[in-house]
Structure 1
Amino acid sequence: MIGLGYTLPALLSVCAVLAWEFAYLRTGLLTKPGYWISVAIVLGFQVPVDGWLTKLDAPIVLYSPEHVSGLRFPWDIPVEDFLYCFSLITAVLLLWERLRRPADGVVS
């Protein structure tokens, strides 16, 4: 069963960000190599830090089992953490991309 406390909101956050891009913003950011390089850089820092914080043998951050899926990869990192990371990083970059150019039809 999907954990309602953390898993479901994490999944919904990904859906919301993607819907925001495809239905409203239409920045094309997800097709740009620079975006995926940025995601890889973030993951390069997230994995060791999140892995250290959530390692099962000596966790600093604890997750209530009924609120998560139980899927962990790599180094005991809950997959929900990656979903939230994707949503947050993507939302910020989409907003940045949208704000750096004028809206369609607006003359500055």
Structure 2
Amino acid sequence: MPEYTALAVASVVLTVLVERFWLRTGVFRTAKYWLAMAIVFFFQVLVDGWLTKLSAPIVIYDESQTTGLRIPWDVPVEDYLFGFSMVTLTILLWVRLGRSREEVDR
């Protein structure tokens, strides 16, 4: 498996494990989380599509380090995996820290 792909998959697995076994916020069961992810995905397609378009790329990937699968508009699938991990981990920490602060304020 190419390095960039392996790291992208590992980031998703690690993020899910952090939620499942450590933070336990329950955000994966909320409609708000999935709506937020849909909004992020929409804008990620637009921005990543523009940055990585094969006709005039601004960001160039070493194709030997990726699967080469690009959907839609030439966006490498690995970018979606890293995007999921980055946004999800941020939300998880935000929710967890917010709950910790509420407990302190009581």
What TM-score do you get using the length of structure 2 for normalisation?
0.92
Tell me by how many angstroms 1:95 deviates: 0.3
Change (3 A) 1:35 1:101: same
Percent identity (aligned): 50
Aligned-partner residue type, residue 64 of structure 1:
D
C-alpha separation in 1, matches of 2:56 and 2:74 = 11
Match in the other structure for 1:70: 68
**Residue 2 of structure 2: aligned partner:** 3
Residue 93 of structure 1 aligns to a residue in which SS?
helix
2:79 corresponds to which of 67, 81, 85: 81
Q: Which residue of 1 aligns with 2:44?
A: 46
SS at match of 2:99: coil
**Segments ≥4 residues shifted beyond 3 Å:** 105-108
**Shift of the alpha carbon at 1:106?**
7.7
Q: 1:21 aligns with which of 13, 19, 22?
A: 19
Identify unmatched segments of 5+ residues in structure 2. Answer: none
Compute the RMSD of aligned alpha carbons. Answer: 1.7
Q: Which residue of 1 aligns with 2:56?
A: 58
What is the match of residue 90 of structure 1? 88
**SS across alignment from 1:24:** helix
Matches of 2:68 and 2:42, distance apart in 1 = 22
Per-residue deviation at 1:102? 2.7
TM-score (norm 1): 0.91
Counterpart in the other structure of 1:12: 10
Residue identity opposite 2:75 in structure 1:
I
Q: How many residues align?
A: 105
